[in-house]
Amino acid sequence: MNQNLFNYTLQQADNCLILGQRLGEWCGHGPVLEQDIAMTNIALDLIGQARMLYQYAAEIQDEKRSEDDLAYLRDAWDFKNVLLVEQPNGDFAKTILRQFLFDSFNCPFYEKLKESSDERLAAIAAKSHKETLYHLKWSGDWVLRLGDGTEESHNRIQNALNELWPYSEEITTPSEADIDANKNGFGVNLNDIKSERETKIREVLNEATLTIPDSAYNHTGGKEGKHTEYLGYILADLQFLQRAYPGNEW
C-alpha cells in the first residue's frame, strides 16, 4: 500500500474527528440555542469529512481495517491530529478561538487539495471546502463579536488567545507525510497556505481589538503521535462503546 497516502489521509481525518468530537461536547450546553445548533452542525460536517477520509484510508491499506476500526480502535499514539484540536473546550470564547484557528487553516487547505493529483482526495476536498466557508465565516464573526464586545467577553477571548496561540502554527508546519504528499503531487504545499492564513488571522484579531502574544514558542508533535494528556480522555469517551462491545452497530 501507499503508506504515505494513508498517513496523509489519516492526518486530516483525525483533525476532523477529534475537533468534531470536542464540538459535540457542547451539544445541549451552548450559550444560546442558535449557537448550540451551530456548534453541533459544524461538528456534524467535520465528522462527515472524517468519515469520507477514513473510508478512503481504509481502502488504501491492506489490513482489512474498516473506517470504524480506524476511528475506534487505534490508540492515542496512532492519532495524527494537531494538538490544537484536542485542547479542552474551556468557555465559549476558547471554543470559538480554537475553531477560528482551525477554520483559517481548513478552508484554504481544502481549496488547495481540490487540485490534488489523487482523484479521491480532490473529490473529498471539493465537497468539504464549501462547508468550511460557512465555518470560517461563523467563527471569524464570533471572534470579532467577543473581542470587540464587552469588557468581559474581550477578556475571555484574549485569555483564550494567550492560551491557544502556541498551538496555532503546528498545523502549517509540515510533517514527513505533508512533505512527501506535496512532493508526489497529491498533497498541499503548506507554505502556500501559511502566509495567507497568518494574514487572515492577524486581520481578524486586529479588528477584534485583540493583542497577539509575542511568544514565538510552538507546541508540536501531534502529527507524529505525541499528544497532550487530553487526547487519551477524548478517546476514552469516543471509543468506549466499541472497546466494551466490540463490533456493535447501530
Partner 1 sequence: MVIDQDHIKQLLEEVTDPEIPVISIRDLGILRDVRIENDQIEIIITPTYSGCPAMLEIEKNINNTLKKNDIENFKITTVLSPPWTTDWMSEEGKQKLKEYGIAPPNPSNEEDIQCPNCGSHNTSLVSQFGSTACKSLFKCNDCLEPFDYFKCH
How many helices and strands, by DSSP H and E, does the chain display? Answer: 10, 0
Position among 2, 44, 174, 192 found at the interface with partner 1 (CB under 8 A): 44
d(C-alpha 205, C-alpha 229), whole Å: 29
Reference 145, options 38, 45, 26; nearest CA is 38
Residue bearing cell 495567507: 196
Position among 4, 18, 19, 45 found at the interface with partner 1 (CB under 8 A): 45
Reference 170, options 226, 212, 220; nearest CA is 220
Task: Say whether residue 14 binds partner 1 (CB under 8 A).
Answer: no
Site for partner 1 in 114-173 (CB under 8 A): 119-120, 122-124, 126-128, 130-131, 134, 137-138
Q: How far apart are CB 141 and partner 1 at their closest, in Å? A: 9
Site for partner 1 in 46-75 (CB under 8 A): 46-49, 51-52
d(C-alpha 127, C-alpha 47), whole Å: 13
CB distance 89 to 97 below 8 Å: no
How many CB atoms within 10 Å of residue 123? 14
Task: Say whether residue 179 binds partner 1 (CB under 8 A).
Answer: no
The nearer residue to partner 1, 38 or 82, going by C-beta atoms, is 38
Task: Say whether residue 174 binds partner 1 (CB under 8 A).
Answer: no
- Distances in Å between the alpha carbon of 44 and those of 59, 123, 192? 23, 19, 28
Cell numbers linked to 171: 498545523
Q: Which stretch binds partner 1 (CB under 8 A): 42-50, 94-102, 168-176, 219-227?
A: 42-50
Q: How far apart are CB 124 and partner 1 at their closest, in Å? A: 6
Task: Say whether residue 42 binds partner 1 (CB under 8 A).
Answer: yes
The nearer residue to partner 1, 60 or 179, going by C-beta atoms, is 60
Residue bearing cell 465565516: 137
What residue ranges bind partner 1 (CB under 8 A)?
34-35, 37-38, 41-42, 44-49, 51-52, 119-120, 122-124, 126-128, 130-131, 134, 137-138
